[in-house]
Amino acid sequence: QVLFESEIPQKIAVVMAIASDISGIPQDDPALQRCLLSVIAPCLLLQIGRRGVPGPVQAMLRMPAETLVDHLSRFAIAGLEAIGRDYADSAPARRKKK
């Protein structure tokens, strides 16, 4: 329980700050919160796979670590940049709604 109350919120705050820097989306915007799920989910899946749960994750865990890290980071960054562009392009529409 202490982990969930202290460690996890701190780690999420760091990831949110990095995701905000990459995407240009403010940290308190729901659009960035959706991105958090997309960035963290693959990491959680790999953690579950390490526990021996059968499935395609086992094949990924046999890949060279550098290959997997490179792929996941490039994929996450590209996604954050794409969502950031969409967010910036929709800024005039968001201002009109206010």
- State pLDDT tens for residues 19-63: 999 999 999 999 999 999 999 998 888 888 777 777 788 888 889
On whether the CB atoms of residues 98 and 34 are closer than 8 A, the answer is no
Q: In which domain, by residue range, is 17 found?
A: 2-97
Work out how many domains the chain is built from and give that number: 1
Give CA–CA dist 66/88, Å, rounded: 32
pTM above 0.85, yes or no: no
What value does the mean pLDDT of the chain take?
88
Pull the structure tokens for residue 25.
């989306």
